[in-house]
Amino acid sequence: MPVRVAVPKEVMPGERRVALVPEVVKALAKAGVSVTIETGAGRAAGYPDDAYTAAGATLVADRRTLFGGAQVLLKVQPPTLEEAAWIAPGTVLVALVNASRSLDRVAKLRDGKVAVFALELLPRITRAQSMDVLSSQATVAGYRAMLIGAGLCPKFLPMLTTAAGTIRPAKVLVLGAGVAGLMAIATAKRLGAIVEGYDVRRAAGEQVRSLGAKFLELQINAEAAGGYARELTDEEKKQEAAMVAKAVSEADIVVTTAAIPGRRAPILVREEMVGSMRPGSVIVDLAAETGGNCALTKPGETIVAHDVAIAGPVDLPSQLAFHASQMYARNLQSFLTLLVTKEGNLVTDYSDEILAASLLVADGTVRHRPTADLLAGGKS
């Protein structure tokens, strides 16, 4: 019997992505996996039902049947409480669970004996790169953020020599040069702006410069375990603030992407820095969802303060749903090679390093320690 994989339509308001796209369905079908898709699941991302059936998927309109009949459920967002109740014990769920923000759902899945793989927990090792949904979705977010910045900016980004005279190029500053920041820098360069990038990890400097942008240097290196940033000391924060303040005051567009895993995003742009910017300048804060890198950011809104537009988008990958879904689906295809053997059987031994690290819930137990602690604290 082939492994039965199912993909429901995402129901979170504003979510346009879908977990599998027809191209990946076709590859899975070829590998002997049976794929069921909820009717209309890919429509918002630009993938019609007939493209899925042509790729070998079966369409199901009844959501309850789809959730209850799968061996492996693939999603983008965590299931709702109602959806979680429909999932049969022993089912494997793979999604971006964001456990700390969906504890009620995690508890329900635990009690329902669902095996849950949370893709945000994937280790960032070379072997997991092709599965790394955080990277693929951050790539989309960085690109989209730069376009939002360009759209809000009342200036051209490139230098222009026209009959009406010469136009000077806009200055773009990108704070945080991880995956999203580097993509924002690359996009700003393609648009012809003068670009500066900054990150607390010194290793990011080389990557920023390789894109043709200037790297703002601070004499510290805050790279910690796993290539992520550590929190800065108070003295380091002062030095950083002075340098960032100057760069912000000179920029036409500031894109902020700074994050520290598991913590509130650091405030890099304080209110007085916003006040120092030229009227019409723009800030796009990618960290809006985790508290924002700008003190004035309002998640999900674009506001104007001190004559500066401040955008705090929280759904950037969803805004570019076609390619965000395609990349996500390819990541899942790669992840599934760990869960389904070449002979077409579902793996039940989760000792592989990648599976073990991303396993959030199994056999009625929360395996991820920080989530288990949070649940114990909330007595769920």
**254 in Cβ contact with 282 (< 8 Å):** yes
Q: Which residue lies nearer to ligand NAD by CB, 30 or 127?
A: 127
* Residue 200 Cβ vs ligand NAD, minimum distance, rounded to whole Å: 4
Q: Which two three-digit tokens encode residue 126?
A: 């070379």
Tokens 């723009």, residue located: 282
Best CA proximity match to 185, nearest among 315, 302, 286: 286
* Residue 268 Cβ vs ligand NAD, minimum distance, rounded to whole Å: 6
Q: How far apart are CA 161 and CA 81, in angstroms?
A: 58
Computed on alpha carbons and rounded to an integer, the radius of gyration of the chain in Å comes to 22
* Residue 165 Cβ vs ligand NAD, minimum distance, rounded to whole Å: 37
Q: Give the interface with ligand NAD as residue ranges (CB under 6 A).
A: 124-126, 128-129, 132, 134-135, 138, 175-181, 198-201, 204, 227-229, 232, 257-261, 266, 268
DSSP-assigned letters across all residues of 75-100 = -SSPPPHHHHHHSPTT-EEEE---GG
Q: Which residue lies nearer to ligand NAD by CB, 83 or 199?
A: 199
* Residue 252 Cβ vs ligand NAD, minimum distance, rounded to whole Å: 20
Q: Which residue lies nearer to ligand NAD by CB, 69 or 291?
A: 291
* Residue 192 Cβ vs ligand NAD, minimum distance, rounded to whole Å: 25
338 three-class SS? helix
**2 in Cβ contact with 32 (< 8 Å):** yes
Q: Which residue lies nearer to ligand NAD by CB, 8 or 266?
A: 266
What's the distance, Cα to Cα, between the start and end of the chain in Å?
Answer: 37
How many alpha carbons fall within 13 Å on the CB side of residue 276? 15
Closest residue to ligand NAD, based on beta-carbon distance = 178
| Identity of the residue numbered 156 | F
**279 in Cβ contact with 305 (< 8 Å):** no
* Residue 30 Cβ vs ligand NAD, minimum distance, rounded to whole Å: 27
Q: How far apart are CA 38 and CA 62, in angstroms?
A: 7
Q: Which residues are catalytic?
A: 124, 129, 132, 135, 228
* Residue 247 Cβ vs ligand NAD, minimum distance, rounded to whole Å: 11
Q: Which residue lies nearer to ligand NAD by CB, 33 or 174?
A: 174
Widest CA span in the chain: 71
Q: How many CB atoms lie within 10 A of CB 180?
A: 30
Tokens 């899925």, residue located: 52
Q: How far apart are CA 213 and CA 185, in angstroms?
A: 7
In our burial notation (b when 16+ CB lie closer than 10 A, e otherwise), range 200-226 reads bbeebbebbeebebebbebebebbeee
CA dihedral 61, 62, 65, 67 (to 10 degrees): 80
